[in-house]
Structure 1
Amino acid sequence: MESSNQKVILPLLTKKNISLFIKREDEIHPFISGNKYRKLKYNLVEAKRLGCANLITFGGAYSNHIAATAYAGKMANLKTIGVVRGEELIDKWQENPTLKFAHDQGMAFKFVSRSWYREKHTEKVQNELKEEFGDFYSLPEGGTNELAVKGCEEILTKKDAFFDVICSCVGTGGTIAGISNSAKDHQKVIGFPALKGDFLKKDIRKFAVQNNWDLITDYHFGGYGKVDETLIHFMNNFKRETTIPLDPVYTGKMMFGLVDLIQNDYFKPNTKILAIHSGGLQGVLGMNLKLEKKNLPLLMV
């Protein structure tokens, strides 16, 4: 499935003589959008090939991956189980739009403590899950594995060879690894992590076969899932000016960082940039619930 590239028109880009397009991966499917579609594609094929009836995955309360896996599993006639971080959600998951959506698609939940969750990939925990649910196909948190990277290698197409720089959000590293693997020799891949720290490079190197990428770690806004009024105003203004919606966890931070870099002459004039929209828009409703409780401005939907 191929997505369209939408040109971004902003006075700053004209002033700096920069060409910026956004690959609208968020539009390839209404519920399994962006990199989640790519990551799930070959994993679902493998689960069916192995004859698995159950699909287990892991995530937080507002996880794009949890929501997408629930819907994709339903379409593939697989029973899905979401292992969700946070025991406090057991009695109030119905108030969470992401979990309610996943439940409506047939996903069962197992709410676990944060300490249990940190051990989720150990043999001990995996055996506990098998005792409770029987045999299953396991997808890691965020969906990143070799098959997910294979799917993400299909994000770039022949027409994208036109660009000098490819920009990607970074969560678990699978998307940028896939993009890096399929990038052309003349292209530089830049990742914008949603998490603090430089530790992701080690994870990306497990899957990236080329050394054509780098991370810019200055735009995480305090870490995963954290936002402030500066980011909210930027995202709302960006949507008003371009019609393109962003999500607060990933693409909003990437675009904020990218625009800031352009403003500060990080790129040479005439540079042609393609930013990958990785979807995740389902998370806007949940974020607005959190912002409302804090009396902060809401994101446009």
Structure 2
Amino acid sequence: MTIISESPVQTINHELLSAQKLTLQIKRDDLIHPQISGNKWRKLKFNLQAMQQQGKTELLTFGGAFSNHIHATAAAGQLFGFKTHGIIRGPELDEHNPTLQNAKRCGMTLHPVNRITYRLRGESRYLAELQKQFPHAYILPEGGTNPAALLGCQELAQSLPTSDVIMCPTGSGGTLAGLIEGSPHSTTVLGIAVLKQAEYLIDDIKQLSRKARQQQNWQLLLEHHDGGYGKFSHELWEFCQTFTQQHAIPLEPIYSGKMMYALWQLIEQGFFAEGTRIMAIHTGGLQGLDGLKYRRLI
């Protein structure tokens, strides 16, 4: 199941970069597919292969009401012709939510659960009950992060031109873990945590990636969450809009926008040595802009 062979790399020209003799390129994974973009496709690709190998004809996964993962999984089901189920953190569904509306248009069956039940999404007993209830379903964790997902993010790392630093926004840790797995030891891999108190992700990343346990060439930066997951300041949103106007690269303030804002701050602070070649991964998620507009947050 392949959508596109590879996404383009775009070079950024800016006086701040020139002043410090830095090179910045952005991997435009937001352009992989209109709906199944960025790290969501990277994580789904090998999971869909595993689903086929196991003879499963449906896919069941988990997400919040505005989840990029739910959006992409539903679209993949429509594109490739398999049934999808979304366990949605509820307890009720907002019929006007644009993410959920799109998921339903793509044929996903939505199953709202209360928050207590939703917290069980990683528990083996609950997953066994779901498997019994949906015997033909391949069950994928929230956000799509598992060993198969890492293979897609590792493939992403191996597709990149030689860089000194690779950066990505970090939510569940799967993309960062895969980039560590696929990058040479000489490359520094930086994750920008998009949620508060994300120290626990360091252990999660080490569990996912053998190389993360063995090597010191990666770091998760914890101070650029801008208020926490799904939160952002007026300054961050202004930066996203300005960046989009200047470079024709759309940003949302939850993932890639937060990473780029952090990158700009790091450059201004002299974090990178002169001559550093930086590769920033645009992980998609632009559908989230519709949800932010719907909630009148932008």
CA deviation after TM superposition for structure 1 residue 159, in Å? 5.2
* Map of 1:7 onto structure 2: 11
Which of 80, 85, 101 does residue 81 from structure 1 map onto?
Answer: 85
Structure 1: distance between partners of 2:138 and 2:131: 10
Matches within 5 A, 1:94-109: 94-109=95-110
Equivalent position of 2:112 in the other structure:
111
Aligned length: 289
Q: Specify the alignment match of 1:224 in structure 2.
A: 229
Q: 1:127: how far off? A: 3.6
2:41 aligns with 37
Q: Equivalent residue for 2:178?
A: 178
Match of 2:283 in 1: 278
**TM superposition shift of 1:194:** 1.0
Where structure 1 has 5 or more consecutive residues not aligned to the other structure, the ranges are: none
8 Å CA contact 2:98–2:294 kept in 1: the answer is no
Contact in 2 for aligned 1:23/1:277 (Cα 8 Å): yes
What is the SS of the residue equivalent to 1:168?
strand
Distance in structure 2 (CA, Å) of the matches to 1:131 and 1:179? 35
On the 8 A contact 1:10/1:241 being kept in 2, the answer is: no
Matched residue type, 2:271: Y
Residue 142 of structure 2 corresponds to 141
Pair 1:46-2:47 in alignment: no
Deviation at 1:134, TM superposition (A): 3.3
Distance 1:174 1:18 in 2: 28
Q: Which amino acid aligns with 2:50?
A: E
Give SS of 1:156's match.
helix
Q: Is the 8 A contact 1:61 1:96 kept in 2?
A: yes
Q: Counterpart of 1:137 in 2: which secondary structure?
A: strand
Residue 266 of structure 2: aligned partner: 261
| Deviation readout 1:104-163 (Å, 9 max, x if unpaired) | 1100011111111111122332243245433421000000011000011111245522x1
AA aligned to 1:9 is N
Q: Distance in 2 between matches of 1:130 and 1:21?
A: 43
- The Cα RMSD (Å) is 1.4
Q: Which runs of 5+ in 2 are unaligned?
A: none
User: Runs of 4+ in structure 1 displaced over 6 angstroms?
Assistant: none
**TM-score of the two chains, using structure 2 as the length reference:** 0.93
Q: Point out the more displaced range, 144-153 or 80-89.
A: 80-89
State the alpha-carbon separation in 1 of the partners of residues 255 and 111 from structure 2: 26
Tell me how far apart the structure 1 counterparts of residues 245 and 258 of structure 2 sit (CA, whole Å). 17
Structure 1 CA distance for aligned equivalents of residues 62 and 164 of structure 2: 35
Task: Tell me which amino acid in the other structure corresponds to 2:72.
Answer: A
SS at match of 1:7: strand
Q: Counterpart of 2:227 in structure 1: which amino acid? A: G
Identical counterparts, % of pairs:
44
Q: 1:17 to 1:176 in 2, by over 3 A?
A: same
SS in 1 for 2:112: strand
Matched, 1:249 2:250: no
- For 1:132 and 1:186, the matched residues in 2 are separated by 47
CA distance in 2 between partners of 1:213 and 1:185 (Å):
9
Q: Compute the displacement of 1:81 (Å).
A: 0.3
Other-structure match for 2:210: 209
Tell me what 1:240 maps to.
245
Q: Give secondary structure in 2 for the equivalent of 1:185.
A: coil
